[in-house]
Structure 1
Amino acid sequence: MVRFKNRWILVEFLPCSPITNITDFIPSAGTNELNSKQIWSALKQSIINNFGDTGWGAVGSSLTIKYYSPTTNVCIVRVARDQHQIAWAGITLLSSIEGRRYLPNVIHVSGTIKQAQLAAIHHNREVVARYRARAGRPAAYQDSYETFLESDQRELEALQD
């Protein structure tokens, strides 16, 4: 029996909007309506535009969005190992999702979901530390981000292949 081999791509979508003051760096609930279905359809369109139907035919059956965090704009994409370079290029060439401009930043590519989970947890902690630094709060400050990190870690660890 042959096992289906995957690549897991950890991506951060950085919004491209003018920032007027320090509070714009820190996301708040309800300001980001992006979801995994919108990311999947934008990625599909990017692959079709750049690689045609042949590229989408190679990637489409295995491409899934396994996780998306609207707080940190981090996403885990699963794709077949043989076609992961097409998906990675499609992510990199993606410029807008639902009419809003985003800059995709591929953070990590791994062969197992466990390594993608660990990289996502580590990256989420760095993002929260950046939010706190920009707000002028110490790293050990107890705020709503602490509960977010705990619940996000549980959600990430619950992901299955």
Structure 2
Amino acid sequence: MLLFGITATAASHNRLTGLLRPTNASGIATAAHHLCHRNDSSVVAAQRPFEGHFFSKELGVHLHLNLYEENLFVPGSEFLGNVHGYMHQGIYGTWMLIKHEIKGNKAFLRFSNDIGSDSQNIEFEQVSDSVYHLRTVNGNALRKAVGRKLVKVPDEMDFRRQ
């Protein structure tokens, strides 16, 4: 269905028709405005799967990505300027994305820790709209503090889009 120059799938038809039942001309403009300015995360997930806040519940790791625009700031490291992504909490330190490549439903990421002493290659795969799988490549430099020691985190983790 083509509506105001926007193609709608059958699945989204019910959501769209609820917005587009105006009773007068000003209602049409209002409906069009709401349609164009919706914050629909399912649309973002489908069109830009590697943009957003992802969370691994098992380790408490937060991954913030936008592989399409360099517009994220690393908390506490704003002086670095905009980055494409970073990972923090649940692991030791903050890891900044320094290189990335998207191939289909996978993103190949290279992170460096906040002091520049370690780097880590990661394969980040979209499994469904909101589920992602992270796998470390060529070893695992990611650690977490347990007591007074740093121990490796698992080589594979599941993430959910927040």
TM-score (norm 1): 0.28
Structure 1 or 2: larger strand share? Answer: 2
Structure 1 or 2: more helix by fraction: 1
Given the two structures, how large is their TM-score scaled by the length of structure 2? 0.28
User: Which of the pair has the greater relative contact order for Cα pairs under 8 Å at 6+ separation?
Assistant: 1
Structure whose CA Rg is larger = 2
